[in-house]
């Protein structure tokens, strides 16, 4: 705690002054363009990663960057609704990461015996677990974990689409969803690419151009 308190004093002496104008402006109201959903993991810093100043990212963080589907209630549905319907964000990013402890818990439930609330929470990633089990029996170790992180981002995007405020904006075509994975040890970001059905390094992805309503076309055969 003493370290944190010193940090705050340092912030107040050094960092606040150059940002003072911005903060005074922001005190009148925020209007972020992006909702950034990521894990609570201490090794991820969304504003450092994107080099964004205060005011740009509305940030939702929990263990495993999980979004329960509509009906579960809870902080995720509320925070997303506030961002989408209240603040009118234009993009939602779900950003998983390498070495995620929650994903390890999905693969090895025995780790969770003393953490029943975590185990219950991961029921929102039951699809991730079942996808891995039925489709990736050939993988193990780091490669299995990496694939789990990726599949979980896709699963949580499916869950996200069931939230009414999101569904209504997707039908309108003015909200875009993005699936990312951040690799802690290299600083790389991988984004899901629809054409290749893979996560590609962010630079290799085409920038998003089509309206979201396009996706509705392609839900079904």
Of these, 18, 96, 126, 190, which contacts its own copies (CB under 8 A)? Answer: 126
Binds 104: which of its own copies, Zn ion, none (CB < 5-8 Å by kind): none
200 binds its own copies (CB under 8 A): no
Binds 209: which of Zn ion, its own copies, none (CB < 5-8 Å by kind): its own copies
Near Zn ion by CB under 5 A, which window of 46-54, 102-110, 154-162, 199-207?
102-110
User: Please, which of residues 36-55 interact with Zn ion by CB under 5 A?
Assistant: 39, 41
* Contact present, 41 and 101 (Cβ < 8 Å): yes
What are the structure tokens assigned to 6, written together?
């010193």
51: left (phi over 0), alpha (psi -120 to 50) or beta: left
R_g of the chain, CA atoms, integer Å: 19
Give the C-alpha separation, 84 to 46, whole Å: 19
Of these, 103, 146, 152, 178, which contacts its own copies (CB under 8 A)? Answer: 178
CA end-to-end span of the chain, whole Å? Answer: 56
Give the C-alpha separation, 68 to 140, whole Å: 27
User: Per-residue string for binding with its own copies, 84-123, x by CB under 8 A?
Assistant: -xx----x-x----xx-xx-----------xxxxx-xxxx
Count the site residues for its own copies by CB under 8 A: 134
- Residue 178 labeled ligand binder: no
Of these, 106, 145, 147, 177, which contacts its own copies (CB under 8 A)? Answer: 177
Q: By three-state DSSP, how is residue 54 classified? A: coil
Give the single-character DSSP code of 111.
G
Residue ranges at the known binding site for Zn(2+) = 39, 41, 97, 100
Residue ranges at the known binding site = 39, 41, 97, 100
């Amino acid at each position: 705690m003493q370290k944190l308190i010193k940090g705050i004093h340092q912030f107040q002496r050094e960092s606040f002054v150059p940002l003072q104008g911005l903060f005074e402006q922001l005190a009148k109201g925020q209007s972020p363009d992006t909702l950034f959903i990521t894990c609570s993991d201490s090794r991820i810093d969304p504003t450092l990663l994107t080099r964004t100043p205060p005011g740009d990212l509305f940030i939702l963080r929990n263990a495993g960057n999980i979004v329960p589907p509509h009906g579960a209630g809870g902080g995720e549905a509320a925070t997303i609704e506030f961002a989408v319907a209240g603040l009118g964000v234009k993009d939602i990013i779900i950003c998983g990461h390498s070495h995620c402890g929650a994903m390890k818990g999905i693969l090895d439930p025995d780790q969770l015996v003393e953490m029943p609330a975590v185990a219950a929470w991961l029921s929102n990633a039951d699809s991730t677990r079942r996808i891995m089990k039925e489709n990736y029996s050939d993988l193990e170790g780091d490669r299995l974990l990496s694939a789990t992180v990726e599949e979980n981002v896709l699963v949580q995007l499916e869950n996200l689409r069931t939230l009414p405020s999101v569904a209504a904006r997707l039908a309108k075509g003015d909200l875009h969803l993005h699936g990312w994975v951040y690799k802690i040890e290299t600083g790389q970001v991988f984004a899901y690419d629809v054409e290749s059905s893979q996560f590609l390094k962010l630079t290799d992805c085409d920038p998003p151009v089509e309206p979201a309503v396009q996706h509705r076309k392609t839900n079904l055969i």
